[in-house]
Amino acid sequence: MIAGIKEVQIIQWFVEPGARVREFDKICEVVSDKATVEITSRYDGVVKKLHHEPEDMAQVGKPLCDIDDLGEIPPEDEAVLESTSEQAGGPSTSQQPQKAAEEHQSKLEQNRQTRDTPKAPTGSKHSSLATPAVRGLLKELEIDISEVVGTGKDGRVLKEDVLNHASSRSTPSSSPSPSSTDSSTTVQDETPITLTPVQSHMFKAMTRSLSIPHFLYADEIDITALSRLRSHINYSSAPQNQPKLSYLPFIIKSLSLSLHHYPILNARISTAPLRVNLRSSHNIGIAMDTPQGLLVPNIKHVETLSVLDIAHEISRLRSLALGGKLASSDLTGGTITVSNIGSIGGTYVSPIIASDNEVAILGVGKKRVVPTFSGGDDGQGEERVVRKEVMCFSWSADHRVVDGATMAKCAEVVRRLVERPEGMIVRLR
């Protein structure tokens, strides 16, 4: 299990009581606040008992299920297996034990093949696949997951499947007309929803962040020159296997270059004894919106990477995050975070430092096209209106160790590098 995890949520079981399993067969799929993991069997044997239902929270280190080792199956369990074989119409296991075992194993293999084949969900509590977020939506809409046809991989039920099912079952007759409802006697309905592990982690992290005195600093950045450079790279000289460059790799590299001048923003605070630890590696986190919720994987050693290397890492981490396959190493060790909220929407943001190991975070707003005045500043030449592309950079810093002047100076270095990307290129290592 991933280090540092205390509890996980059961997503689905791949076995049922009475099933015979081999070492390394998949037992269940669980999700923590960091990743989704498939748990495999450590033994050859027969599943005796499942200690949890899907969606239950399980404590790490506690049993998930009971498995009888093949060499230690008690006589009563052998009798159960024998009776199962006899009911199926086969020869008596007392007379032909080897043949009965082979038939039982063949039946289990058929069950596994049937389970792995995508199909419409059935009433079995182990046959429907869905993320905790989707299960929360099912609870909110009071829909049985077995009623929803999953269109995702391996029959996984997606958010769209739930919404489509909800809309299809809604009929005009099922909703009372406004005239027949007395608003004065209507009782507000509340549906409790259990937080997923990711949501629980976010709740705890944000609660802890209330103890940090945040200092907010914002500035508008002219990205016109960077936009031209990015377009030139993407559409004229980029190899086929190279990912299309967004603005984010350039911003991350600019931040890393500025940290060489202001390492306090890459530090962490320790309280016993009270001191600030400066860190040489720039492990820059990227806030990502995933089906599991907010996750912040980080790119290791950005100070040694090129802009293209950073773009490849962003693509890799995003693919893993969307599939719920991020490793523990991807989610730990961050030193500073960038939240590109502008990719979703919003011009301004007040980012929150959610990690105890960081003292600063940068929030990036969406790109906007604005008219601005140019020329005439020196009294020579005529002022004119020109088209510019701008973004708002919003910084938050831990005011216990980062003063306003330091934050402003670091932000100014980033602004110059982004507005004049040729300065960034000559500084690349």
Positions annotated as catalytic residues are: 399, 403
Residues in the chain: 429
**Residue 170 to residues 135, 161, 197, Cα–Cα distance (Å):** 20, 14, 31
Radius of gyration of the chain (CA): 28
DSSP per position, 328-386: HHHHS---EEEE-GGGTS-S--------TT-SEEEEE---EEEEEEES-TTSSS--EEE
Distance CA 336, CA 285 (A): 6
Strand residue runs (E) in 134-273: 214-222, 268-271
Structure tokens at 375: 């020329």
Distance CA 15, CA 39 (A): 11
| Cβ-contact 398, 214 below 8 angstroms | yes
DSSP per position, 135-173: HHHHHHHT--GGGSPP-SGGGBPPHHHHHHHHHHH--GG
Token pair 């989610």 is at which residue? Answer: 331
Distance CA 278, CA 123 (A): 56
Q: DSSP letter at 306?
A: -
Distance CA 84, CA 59 (A): 34
205: CB partners within 8 A, 6+ apart = 354, 355
